[in-house]
Structure 1
Amino acid sequence: MSEFFKNLRARDGYGSETTADAREAAVAAALVLIQAKVSNSPERHAIVQEELGRLSAYADLIQAALKVK
């Protein structure tokens, strides 16, 4: 599973990442998770639409979890 996530980091180590970069990385991670869920649920035809409807919420959760406190 880690192979799926290896290119999702928005940070380059130089502090040049933007808010848009962070959001793009969070959405990419959410899409990977949705892909995994959909591929494991072939009997549910509506799951793709349902999961894409949750994409923004998933990205929000991922982005919030990555914030340094």
Structure 2
Amino acid sequence: MDKISKTGKGVHILQTAEPRIRQLCLQLKDVHILEPRNREDLLQYSCQLTLDPSTVHRNLRLSEGNRVVTE
């Protein structure tokens, strides 16, 4: 690092790269999470759940293997 500093090349490289680095950092702040566009996209994040009849709210009724809830 001392050799680079003495020649000035390292400083020049950093000064030239700085605007691009700043631009990339700003772009990283604007990352958007994509919303699922259709059912298939949404289902990739789904999983099957089984509700426990002993811990379900008393006003809810379970049916179909404890997978469907009605009031």
Q: TM-score range by the shorter chain?
A: under 0.3
Greater relative contact order, per chain length (Cα 8 Å cut-off, separation 6+): 1
Normalising by structure 1, report the TM-score.
0.27
Structure with bigger helix share is 1
Structure with bigger strand share is 2
Which structure has the bigger radius of gyration? 2
